[in-house]
Amino acid sequence: MTMLRIILIGPFVVALVNLQTWWWARYGALLIFALMAMSDALDGWLARRFRQETPLGRFLDPLADKLLITCAMILLGLGSTTIPGYKIPSWVVVSALGKDLFVIVGFFLIFIVTGHVFIRVGWVGKLCTDFQMVLVLVVLLGPDLSRVVGFIHTLLWMLWIGSAAFAVLTCWQYFRVGMRFLHVLSQREKEEPA
């Protein structure tokens, strides 16, 4: 299912790139986004239910989320591929990309220094991803929601600020967890007999 989500990123990007060209592109992006979200939830439930969690799955699942969020944030933050009136501000895009870059660089640094693969998604990281997913969903639904909900732009501001704040908190949490992992590993090496 995770591979299906990664494959669906291609059509999702095509729909976003053509938001201002094809009248149905926004609805196509919404449909693909909904399929990806449902398959993510189902995949996680099945893995826990049947105890089929694997190291590869723990790596690929957040990777699929990062690819989706990165593509959506960049394209919905560019003037030429955004929904008029619902452009994601550049500071929100930079905070999302900066967080992912920080996590990826940290992952590789820990691997280079220790030779160990260390993947541990914290609750702040999960909340950050959820916030960003809701932000993308609200932006894609924006023109339809604005007809029903009068405070759509206030909601967007709250999601922008929340997304950026959780990105910073996620970096801080991952930094602390990574440093703790390095400390524990160095203590074990000191205690092992030569």
**What pLDDT band is residue 13 in, cutting at 50, 70 and 90?**
very high
Least confident of 26-30, 145-149, 152-156: 145-149
Q: What is the pLDDT of residue 194?
A: 55
Q: What's the CA gap between 83 and 98, in Å, rounded?
A: 23
In a domain, residue 72? The reply is yes
- Per-residue pLDDT, averaged over 88-92, amounts to 95
Q: What's the CA gap between 169 and 126, in Å, rounded?
A: 11
In a domain, residue 48? The reply is no
Q: How does DSSP assign 124-188, residue by residue? A: HHHHHHHHHHHHHHHHHHHHHHHHH-TTHHHHHHHHHHHHHHHHHHHHHHHHHHHHHHHHHHHHH
**Dihedral class, residue 23 (left if φ above 0, else alpha if ψ from -120 to 50, else beta):** alpha
Number of domains in the chain: 1
In a domain, residue 2? The reply is no
In a domain, residue 13? The reply is no
In a domain, residue 6? The reply is no
In a domain, residue 34? The reply is no
Contact by Cβ (8 Å): 88, 77: yes
- Per-residue pLDDT, averaged over 124-129, amounts to 86
**Among the listed residues 66, 72, 73, the one whose alpha carbon sits nearest the alpha carbon of residue 92:** 73
Terminal-residue alpha carbon distance, the chain: 45
With a cut of 60, say whether residue 171 has pLDDT above it: yes
Q: What's the CA gap between 172 and 57, in Å, rounded?
A: 24
pTM of the model: 0.84
Range of the domain at 94: 56-191
Q: Which two tokens stand for residue 38?
A: 């449902």
In a domain, residue 21? The reply is no
In a domain, residue 82? The reply is yes
